[in-house]
Structure 1
Amino acid sequence: MLHSLRTIVQEVNAARDLHSALDIIVDRVREAMNTQVCSIYLRDTKNDYVLMATKGLRPESVGVVRMRHNEGLVGWVVSREEPINLENAARHPRYQYFPETGEERYQTFLGAPIIHHRQVLGVLVVQQMENRRFDESEEAFLVTMSAQLAGVIAHAEATGMLKAIGHHTQEARFFGVSGAAGVALGTAVVVAPISDLRAVPYEACSDIDAEIRFFNHGLALARDDIKRIGSELKDRLNREEQALFDAYLAMLDDASLGGEVIERIRQGACAAFAWAEVILEHEATFASMKDPYLRERAADLRDLGRRVLSHLQATENETRQYPDNTILISEELTASMLGEVPPGKLAGLVSVQGSSNSHVAILARAMDIPTVMGAVDLPYTRLGQRNIVVDGYRGVVVTDPSEELSRQYQSIVAEEQALVRGLEALKDLPCETLDKHRISLWVNTGLMADVMRSLERGAEGVGLYRTEVPFLLRDRFPSEEEQRQIYREQLKAFHPHPVTMRTLDVGGDKALPYFPIEEANPFLGWRGIRVTLDHPEIFLAQVRAMLKASEKLDNLRIMLPMISSIAELEAAQVLIYRAYHELLEEGFQITLPPIGVMIEVPAAVYQARELAARVDFLSVGSNDLTQYLLAVDRNNARVADLYESLHPAVLRALSDIVSQAHMEGTPVSICGELAGDPGAAMLLVAMGYDVLSMSATNLPKVKSALRAVTLEDAETLLERVKAMPDASGVNHCVQEALRAAGIAKLLRPSINDTLLPSELPNE
């Protein structure tokens, strides 16, 4: 059955549409389980469950038989949300007879729910004449098959492929993680990686004859390529290897293969999408064959498919149109993709892969472009030219929003623009509470694009400069001199204000393409200071570049990431002192900058005082600290609702860090996302944090909040939230405090949740 399951999954994934996939499943499952009937019931817009495919019941009953979620045995499976296995189904009190199916002959019934994100999308049923229960292995097989089918159904619902049973393309919501805050409404433009057969976006074809000519031209170009390569390699290949090129040419000349593609173009699909569909279907057919030789031909077909696709996509990419308010969507966005969009047209970004720490997300924050990363369930290849909402506050993407929901989001955009204009007057005012308690507001940067925006918004320093960004944007390690030039620009731009440069922090979800780190659990693995201490040549070159860049400016601060022990700190300090003395000997006129550590792991929390005694400053990385304290991957959309920055445990840790550091007279800053939240900033000031560092976008909002309260107000709020047992209570208290201070406008914009669709449409 395991082999059968793999084969079925391959065929289903290559199916051209939902109905083809359903027909494959009922046919193959019936065969694999050696039973007489296999049927699939799917939920429609009325929350009825409709017979959508069957092998064994009468074909004319498809689309006719329907039942409520509490009717019949199928309804019983839905209401219980678990498999139902009956030896004599007709005698069960929940049995409901449908004469049009002809099912009276079948005694045994096994039904498994098709569940996606806690929603029962349908039921997969097998029946047989023999009066016996299906055994445990058969039940397990059907449950596994249902789980595989769930993703196919969810994808079909979201892309409007269920119109045949009353479904219509309508708004759907998909979760990711916030890459950059804000809201954007616009038109989706899907950018796919070249030659990836499984990532070709669907585009409608308006001129069928021109598209067919375009397809034939692509075939001709691929044919010429193969002939040229075969000719060039002729003297280096044996006869069997040369035969492969002849086989490729024969497949390109095969009228049936091209005919299938042309037929799909005539049905309205663009050439690239039609070609990819046909190749994937044939590949699945070869892959499922029992003969090893024929199975291997699947790889050859895939290679040929990519060659042709590269020609079809190259021309398409050259002529891609970007409408006003473009929402750029890709499986994995890159900086170069952003650069292709004409200035002024890019409104929002959505990436199926990636995290809030990817360099595209960092670039998006620098450019103030609302972004959602890690939207893993988004059927992105089907979203071209569709209306999209990017909610960067919540990490949510809404497809085909209703007019009412669009109006709500449009009003949020207008409010944001008005708020920004209103806060511009605060730029030159100090950040101090009503009772004159002064707080320093710094910024987090990573690109030169951040600099001007930061200075325009009144930044007093840089609390975190992400030095890994120049490493991420290259295809090799930057040289010491290249790094020096980059760091010098940052230091000069902010002079005389301090610039805190974090040493290279890679690993976890920040991998360098030329320095790959493959680990089963990267967040608990080789990252941050662990990498650079193991590679002192990288660390020393970077520190030397920083020190050289600071010559005669003296506004550098060096910060060490992911410190979890005193031994790591001391090892890093030895290397910094070594680089400093080397440069003095080489004649550079530099001073030793302040050295600090990031508090990001629980071990550092409990050694905060010992660390503070050995450094010039501490800086809390609240993003990672929250992640490790709560055991929640902050880049995983499936557990995003468990990531609570204002969790009582997090607040206690933050408070303890400050008190321990201040016992040693060491200043403490915080440079995570928490510092940029106006309500959370009140709590941090009450705890005693000396510096709050955030994205430039949030700086005016935080300044506005702190200038509207007294230190006593903030301390009173902190005492109240300390008594709260959960994050929801803390959040409520903070929101009420902002309202009481007359600054409710700084709260995250609210949306009427009754207007938001559930994770899947048709709810």
Structure 2
Amino acid sequence: MLSVLRKIVQEVSAAPDLESVLDLIVRRIQRTMKTQVCSIFLFDPVQQRYVLRATQGLNQDAVGKVSLSMTEGIVGQVGQRAEPINLEDAARHPAFHYLQATGEERYHAFLGVPIIHHRTVLGVLVVQQVEHRRFDESEEAFMVTLSAQLAGIIAHAEATGSVNMDTAEAVAGQADASESVPAVHDKRFNGVAAAPGVAIGTVVIATLTAELETVPDKPGRGVERERADFHAALEAVRDDLTTLGKSLAQRLKAEEQALFDVYLRMLDDSALRGEIERRIEQGQWAQGALRDVILAQVQQFSRMEDAYLRERATDVRDLGRRILGYLQESAGPVQMECPDNAILIADELSPAMLGMVPEEKLAGLVAVSGSGNSHAAIMARSIGIPTVMGVVDLPFTRLDGRKVIVDGYSGRIYVNPSERLLEAFERVIRDEQAVAAGLEELRDLPAETTDGYRMPLWVNTGLVADVTRSLERGAEGIGLYRTEIPFMIRDFFPSEQEQLQSYRSQLEAFAPRPVTMRTLDIGGDKALPYFPINEDNPFLGWRGIRVTLDHPEIFLVQVRAMLRASEGLDNLRIMLPMVTSIHEVEEALRQIDRAVAELQDEGYDIKRPPVGVMVEVPAAVYQVRRFARLVDFISVGSNDLTQYILAVDRNNPRVAGLYAAYHPAVLRALQYIARETRREGKPVSICGEMAADPGGALLLMAMGYEVLSMNANNLPRVKSAIRGVSLVRAQSLLSRVLRMGDAEEIHQYLRDALKGLGLGQLTRPRLPNQL
């Protein structure tokens, strides 16, 4: 049964549209379970009814016409209860509702299973039989398992269908396609709010090199040009394979050499070439035509019973990638032409992708994978770009060139927005701009409470552009400079001299103000393309200080570059990430002392800078006083600490909703750290998204944190909040919050408190009310 289930899921995944998906499901289940009827009712949120969308066994004329309300019939009961109903004779059930048009009167046995995706009931999957009997436990278990597997596929197919309704008009030669199906306006996709703000713009797809699945839909630049590019790519791949075959001829056996002949024959396959050319003639660009045909063949081979033929799927995919590589090369810069107000969408956003669109044109970011606390999201907040992550059902390759709204406050994307919705979000943008303009006058004023308490506000940086932006907003220092970013935008480890130049620019710009540089923090959600770390559980694996202590040659070069960059400025602070034990701190301090001694021997006029540790894991929380005795300062990385305390992978959109900065356990840990560090007489600061929230900043100030470090764009709002309240009032807020037991209750209380203090403009703006 497991192999049958896997085969059904695989086959359905390859279906081109929602109708095909549903039709395949009902036909395969009916045949597999040897039942007379299999049907799917999908919930229509507009009508608020379950509509018969596919059936095998009932009257086909009823499809799309027959429906049930949310409380009507056994189907409605399954949806309401969100659990299976298994009946020997459906007609005897009190909720039974006879649907005359379906011709179901002959059937007695009934099993209905809810189709649930992300806690939402999408519909009900039903099987029926003539005889009086209950479906047995194995049949019910199979249906429940299959429903769970198919829910995501159905959700994605529904989403793709809704945005495809007016895609055809963008493809040359299909201008009349949109006339047959009305365009769907204000189609909403839910994700995770990653960086606040609203953006309205045109989609640009960030594609990965030679990855077929990420190729977007685009109209061709003319049939002849696309066909010529395709033929040129074929010839280039043929030349590559011929040359490669000849170069390996002496090292391969005859049967292995024959593999190159297989590839060459595939290139000459008239059916393959003909299908790609046919799609080009219909107006698709060559890359999209190649993607569709190759992936369809891959799916076809993958479903075959014969093991040898199944392996052909790998060959077809590899050949498709080779051809795609040349097509991408020939497309050149045309592929990355960006309109004004570009919305960059990718399957998975990386820091390097942010450089694909000029900063002055980049309006918003969207990722199918990832969460609001991924490294890319942190960088997006740093540069002030509205961002939504984890939009798992977004058919992003179908959206190139489409107009969308990015709501970075509630984590929503609106495709094909109506004029009414555009006007509503344009008002939000104007209100945001007005608030930002009003905060500019605070730039040169201190973050000082109404009763005279002074709170230094520092910034988190990583990009060169962060420096100017931070100084413009009145930053008093850098609490976290992410040194991994210069490593991530290169194809190899930067040299000591290259690192020195990057670090010097930060130190000079902020001198004499302090600059806190975190040593290389890779692993987890931060990968280097030239230093891959492949682990089953990267957040509990080889990351942070663990990597650099295992590679002292990397650590020493970086520390030397930092120290040399600080010569004559003396505003450097070094911070060690992801520490969990005293041994790690002692070893890192020995390495730093060694680097200082080496450089002094070489004639550099430097001295040992202050060194601190980041408290990011529970183990560090309960050793914070011991750490404080060894180092010069303590800094809390609240994003990772929250993740580890709550056991929530912050990059996993399935559990992103459980990540709560205001969770009572997190707040108590933060209060404990501040209290214990002060007992050792050492300064304690915090860098993380909680410090960037006006309400969170007030709580942290009340706990005794002496420096708050945040992204530059939030600094004016935090400063305004601090200047609008007394320290005594903030401490009263903290006392009340610590008695609460729910994160959302705490968040709402802080929002209401800010409004009560006349600081309501610092909270999230009122957004259009959408279903």
Q: TM-score, normalised by structure 1?
A: 0.91
Report the counterpart of residue 80 of structure 1 in structure 2: 81
TM-fit CA distance, 1:462 = 0.9
Report the counterpart of residue 34 of structure 1 in structure 2: 34
CA displacement 1:123-156 (0-9 Å, x = unmatched): 2222334443322222222222222322232223
Tell me, yes or no, if structure 1 residue 221 matches structure 2 residue 232.
yes
Relative distance call for 1:459 and 1:223 in structure 2 (3 A) is closer
TM-fit CA distance, 1:463 = 0.9
TM-fit CA distance, 1:636 = 2.8
Relative distance call for 1:137 and 1:270 in structure 2 (3 A) is farther
TM-fit CA distance, 1:444 = 0.9
TM-fit CA distance, 1:464 = 0.9
How far apart, CA to CA, are the structure 2 residues paired with 1:134 and 1:125? Answer: 12
With 403-412 and 467-476 compared, the bigger mean Cα shift is at 403-412
Amino acid at match of 1:374: G
- Aligned residue for 2:490, secondary structure, equals coil
Report the counterpart of residue 289 of structure 1 in structure 2: 304
How far apart, CA to CA, are the structure 1 residues paired with 2:298 and 2:734? Answer: 62
Report the counterpart of residue 673 of structure 1 in structure 2: 689
TM-fit CA distance, 1:665 = 1.5
CA displacement 1:654-713 (0-9 Å, x = unmatched): 222222222222111111111122222222222222111111111122222212222222
How far apart, CA to CA, are the structure 2 residues paired with 1:58 and 1:378? Answer: 33
Paired residues, number: 751
Q: TM-score, normalised by structure 2?
A: 0.90
CA displacement 1:206-265 (0-9 Å, x = unmatched): x8xx33x34532442243124323432454166655655555555555554455445555
Contact 2:227/2:286, CA 8 A, preserved across alignment? no
Report the counterpart of residue 529 of structure 2 in structure 1: 513
How far apart, CA to CA, are the structure 2 residues paired with 1:441 and 1:282? Answer: 57
TM-fit CA distance, 1:33 = 1.9
Contact 2:371/2:656, CA 8 A, preserved across alignment? no
Tell me, yes or no, if structure 1 residue 756 matches structure 2 residue 770.
yes
Contact 2:634/2:683, CA 8 A, preserved across alignment? yes
With 537-546 and 363-372 compared, the bigger mean Cα shift is at 363-372
CA displacement 1:315-364 (0-9 Å, x = unmatched): 55633443321111111334554444356322111122345565644543
- Aligned residue for 2:708, secondary structure, equals strand
Which one of the candidate residues 198, 201, 210 is aligned to 1:186? 201
Which one of the candidate residues 421, 426, 436 is aligned to 2:442? 426
Relative distance call for 1:738 and 1:70 in structure 2 (3 A) is closer
- Aligned residue for 2:494, secondary structure, equals coil
Report the counterpart of residue 761 of structure 1 in structure 2: none
CA RMSD across the alignment: 2.8
Report the counterpart of residue 500 of structure 1 in structure 2: 516
Report the counterpart of residue 20 of structure 2 in structure 1: 20
How far apart, CA to CA, are the structure 1 residues paired with 2:245 and 2:733? Answer: 79
Contact 1:214/1:271, CA 8 A, preserved across alignment? no
Contact 1:177/1:636, CA 8 A, preserved across alignment? no
Report the counterpart of residue 575 of structure 1 in structure 2: 591
TM-fit CA distance, 1:561 = 1.4
TM-fit CA distance, 1:465 = 0.9
TM-fit CA distance, 1:496 = 0.8
Relative distance call for 1:92 and 1:355 in structure 2 (3 A) is closer
Tell me, yes or no, if structure 1 residue 707 matches structure 2 residue 718.
no
Tell me, yes or no, if structure 1 residue 447 matches structure 2 residue 463.
yes
**1:106-255 matched pairs, under 5 angstroms:** 106-161=107-162, 169-203=184-218, 210-211=222-223, 213-235=224-246, 236=249, 240=255, 247-248=262-263, 251-255=266-270
TM-fit CA distance, 1:166 = 9.4
Tell me, yes or no, if structure 1 residue 477 matches structure 2 residue 496.
no
CA displacement 1:79-136 (0-9 Å, x = unmatched): 2222222233344444444444343444432222211122222222223344433222
- Aligned residue for 1:676, secondary structure, equals coil
Report the counterpart of residue 288 of structure 2 in structure 1: 273
How far apart, CA to CA, are the structure 2 residues paired with 1:569 and 1:630? Answer: 25
Report the counterpart of residue 657 of structure 1 in structure 2: 673
Tell me, yes or no, if structure 1 residue 617 matches structure 2 residue 628.
no
How far apart, CA to CA, are the structure 2 residues paired with 1:659 and 1:57? Answer: 69
What percentage of aligned pairs have identical amino acids?
60
Amino acid at match of 1:411: R
Relative distance call for 1:533 and 1:239 in structure 2 (3 A) is closer
How far apart, CA to CA, are the structure 2 residues paired with 1:283 and 1:728? Answer: 46
With 350-359 and 480-489 compared, the bigger mean Cα shift is at 350-359
Relative distance call for 1:97 and 1:193 in structure 2 (3 A) is same
Amino acid at match of 2:640: D
Contact 2:21/2:157, CA 8 A, preserved across alignment? no
Report the counterpart of residue 593 of structure 1 in structure 2: 609
Gaps of 5+ in 1: 758-763
Which one of the candidate residues 691, 711, 716 is aligned to 1:695? 711
TM-fit CA distance, 1:597 = 1.3
Amino acid at match of 2:770: L
With 360-369 and 611-620 compared, the bigger mean Cα shift is at 360-369
How far apart, CA to CA, are the structure 1 residues paired with 2:378 and 2:749? Answer: 31
CA displacement 1:42-90 (0-9 Å, x = unmatched): 2233132222222233333322332223333333322222222223334
Amino acid at match of 2:312: R
TM-fit CA distance, 1:2 = 1.7
Contact 1:362/1:446, CA 8 A, preserved across alignment? no
With 454-463 and 736-745 compared, the bigger mean Cα shift is at 736-745
Amino acid at match of 1:749: P
- Aligned residue for 2:690, secondary structure, equals helix
Relative distance call for 1:466 and 1:169 in structure 2 (3 A) is same
Relative distance call for 1:38 and 1:167 in structure 2 (3 A) is farther
Report the counterpart of residue 380 of structure 2 in structure 1: 364
Amino acid at match of 1:217: A
Relative distance call for 1:104 and 1:278 in structure 2 (3 A) is farther
How far apart, CA to CA, are the structure 1 residues paired with 2:759 and 2:102? Answer: 64
Which one of the candidate residues 305, 308, 311 is aligned to 2:320? 305
With 214-223 and 528-537 compared, the bigger mean Cα shift is at 214-223
Report the counterpart of residue 175 of structure 2 in structure 1: none
Contact 1:187/1:385, CA 8 A, preserved across alignment? yes
Report the counterpart of residue 760 of structure 1 in structure 2: none
- Aligned residue for 1:646, secondary structure, equals coil
Amino acid at match of 2:89: N
With 165-174 and 42-51 compared, the bigger mean Cα shift is at 165-174
Contact 1:215/1:312, CA 8 A, preserved across alignment? no
How far apart, CA to CA, are the structure 1 residues paired with 2:237 and 2:462? Answer: 45
Which one of the candidate residues 394, 399, 417 is aligned to 1:378? 394
With 679-688 and 239-248 compared, the bigger mean Cα shift is at 239-248
Contact 1:563/1:597, CA 8 A, preserved across alignment? yes
Relative distance call for 1:167 and 1:78 in structure 2 (3 A) is farther
